[in-house]
Amino acid sequence: MSLTHTPFDLSLYLVTDARLCRDYGLERTVAEAVEGGVTLVQLRDKHASDAEMIRQAKQLKALLAGSGVPLIINDRLAVALESGADGLHVGQSDTAVQAAREALGDSAILGLSINTLAELKAAPLAQLDYLGLGPVFATASKRDHASPLGFDGLARLARAASLPCVAIGGLDARHSAQVRQAGAQGLAVISAICGQPSPRDAALAFVTARKDALTP
């Protein structure tokens, strides 16, 4: 099946954490991070109600209008449907991919978290647009995360995957080249941008690292 989804670029994928963004504010963090070079934003909130998350998603959607940066919702299908977001990211124990695709339609961007080759084998890839591979390293940003893959584990999964992949977990700008060498299209980050003194400069550091890696 070929999906006619919204175009997206996994190069620098910001996953939000409202608590980490507290000093700066979620909207300002996202606005500055996009100025700095973030290419995709995922609204993730393990504490907010659906209603609160829908309100936040609508605000972020308005803020991102015209930027070409899509907004993806973590886990909550109802929020993705209600808020006009561009897509949904699900974990292994969230809404089933098939059900999410049916509810969201073909134009939505749909991503799935993968930590093992068995999960990759079992994934309904034809229903998906991208895979999140991780965690690459242990991280305090996700409770009870799966075992860290390291760059070797990341490369094994990225090589076996027939979809675009974004790496996640304990990453910062210094990891840009190794992540790409491992075969992932980009880096997904929370704490390397959220809660940083300047989210704009933090995002720019990834863009600079990428340029440096591409310059012979």
29 part of the interface to ligand TZP, by CB under 6 A: no
Residues written for the chain = 216
Query: CB of 41: closest distance to ligand TZP in angstroms?
Result: 13
Q: Which stretch binds Mg ion (CB under 5 A): 30-38, 75-83, 127-135, 153-161?
A: 75-83
Q: In the set 34, 131, 157, 171, which binds ligand TZP (CB under 6 A)? A: 171
Kindly name the residue from 11, 44, 176, 200 that is annotated as catalytic: 44
Known binder of ligand: residue 212? Answer: no
Query: CB of 44: closest distance to Mg ion in angstroms?
Result: 8
Q: Are the C-beta atoms of 59 and 21 separated by less than 8 Å?
A: no
- The interface mask with ligand TZP, positions 88-107, x = CB under 6 A, is --------------------
Tokens read off for 88: 């949904």
* Residue closest to Mg ion (Cβ): 91
Tokens read off for 151: 């760059």
* CB neighbour list of residue 125: distance below 8 Å, 6 or more residues apart: 161, 162, 163
22 flagged as catalytic: no
* CA distance to 24, 83, 166, 192, 195, per residue, from 11 (Å): 24, 24, 8, 14, 20
169 binds, among Mg ion, ligand TZP, none (CB under 5 to 8 A by kind): ligand TZP
* CB neighbour list of residue 49: distance below 8 Å, 6 or more residues apart: none
Question: Cβ of 91: how many Cβ atoms within 10 Å?
Answer: 16
Q: Which stretch binds ligand TZP (CB under 6 A): 24-32, 65-73, 95-103, 168-176?
A: 168-176
Helix 199-214 × helix 26-36 angle, to 10°: 20
Positions marked catalytic: 44, 113, 142
The residue ranges that bind ligand TZP (CB under 6 A) are 15, 134-135, 139, 141-142, 145, 168-171, 189-192
The residue ranges that bind Mg ion (CB under 5 A) are 75, 91, 94
